[in-house]
Amino acid sequence: MALRHITRSVNPLPCSLRAARSLSSLAGVANPIPATFLRGGTSKGIFLNRAHLPPDQSQWDTIFLGIMGSPDAQYGRQLNGMGGGVSSLSKICVVGTPSESQKSVGIDVEYTFAQVGIRDNVIDYSGNCGNLSSMIGVFAVDEGICAPHISHVPKATGTVRTFNTNTNKRIDNTFLVVESGSRYMPVLDGEQASIAGVPGRASPILLDFVSPSGARTGELLPTGSPSDTVHVTLADSREVTVPVSLVDATNPTVFTSEQGLRTALNIPDDVAINFGDSAVVDTLERIRQAGAQLMGLDPLAQAQPKVAVLEPASVDDAEADIVINAFSMGVLHKAVPMTVGLCLGVAAHVPRTLAWDAIGGRHKTGELLRIRHPGGVVEVGAELSSSGEVASARVMRTGRRLMKGVVWW
């Protein structure tokens, strides 16, 4: 079942009574609960086997908040839990066996992603995490939930076909494997690959998002147009018009241009934009909310859609085609949310989007788009069918097993 709501724990009952009622309904859930702590790409998260959670998904929130140490309204550090005080470290994936109907179309495992609030008790199920998606197959094989589909060309690899319930999309994970008795187990500690934002080298994990268009809205271009304008009232009461591209592939994203942001805030061309400045952050949030409304999404849900600023790569940058500064939960991302990077890779193929314009409309299907972000460069690929439909979006990630045991909630 797809989860497309945002849980907002607002209740007039006293906290003590509310907690007592919640805990009484979870009396049969182990505390501590079996858990695995994994890095996937540039994110880390808690992975849980769905078999260890209540069948009623509305009861998950109390457990997730306790695991992460949320809400931490005073300090925002989540020191009472596994969270790290930033959105990329406050994530949970619940992994389980697929339904019979999913099995019939080749799905091996399904998962639900939860973005856990840091200072508040909001748990957002409205989107997916591209980085942690890279470790779903590894976790499922480690847990014995499924076995990988093995190929020996050119090296022994295993593929797990995963299904994300947040977006109702299939994502294939392919990773190196080694034979261990009667099983093939994922290998993560090779040195074949590296990714920006993570030190060292590791084994590659290929993510293939199958038919990624319309993950939330049902359409690649929710407004039917590759470019739109949003009317925004700024904090100083000025009204401005800002160009945007509203694209929904892997996750919905509001793209705006660096020049459009400069014009809105009267920032001279010879002055670098400070993406940590409160006026910049506030303006981008207003742009994001306006874009969300045009996409038919909840503008108050910070997790989705995300907002990102695009600009052409400098002429002397031989490593990148385009530059992005993306925000996650109102904060500049230290790299780029992987679903935003994949969405950009798709948008670059769509004529007259801001992404298309930024690279001069020269990108061809199958070519990797080199995206410069605050942490370095990432390459993403997209395949379009002869009819122009997006067949897949691909990216390479790495991951690492960090801990396996139990976690208190």
The string of pLDDT tens digits covering residues 272-327 is 999 999 999 999 999 999 999 999 999 998 889 999 999 999 999 999 999 999 99
Mean per-residue pLDDT, 1-6 = 42
Predicted pLDDT at 22 = 55
Please spell the DSSP secondary structure of 372-404, one letter per residue. Answer: EETTEEEEEEEEE-TTS-EEEEEEEE-EEEEEE
Give dist(CA 393, CA 349) in Å, integer.
Answer: 11
Residue 25 in tokens: 């309904």
DSSP state letter for 44: E
187: nearest Cα among 133, 138, 145: 138
pLDDT tens readout for residues 152-206: 988 899 999 999 999 999 999 999 999 999 899 999 999 999 999 999 999 999 9
Rounded to whole angstroms, how far apart are CA atoms 105 and 95? Answer: 18
Alpha carbons 101 and 165: distance in angstroms, whole number: 14
DSSP collapsed to 3 states, 164-211:
ECCCCEEEEEEEEEEEECCEEEECCCCCCECCCCCCCCECCEEEEEEC
Phi, psi for 276 (deg, rounded to 5): -95, -5
Q: Tell me which DSSP letter residue 34 carries.
A: E
* Per-residue model confidence as pLDDT tens digits over 215-248: 999 999 999 999 999 999 999 999 999 999 999 9
pLDDT tens-place string over residues 316-341: 999 999 999 999 888 999 999 999 99
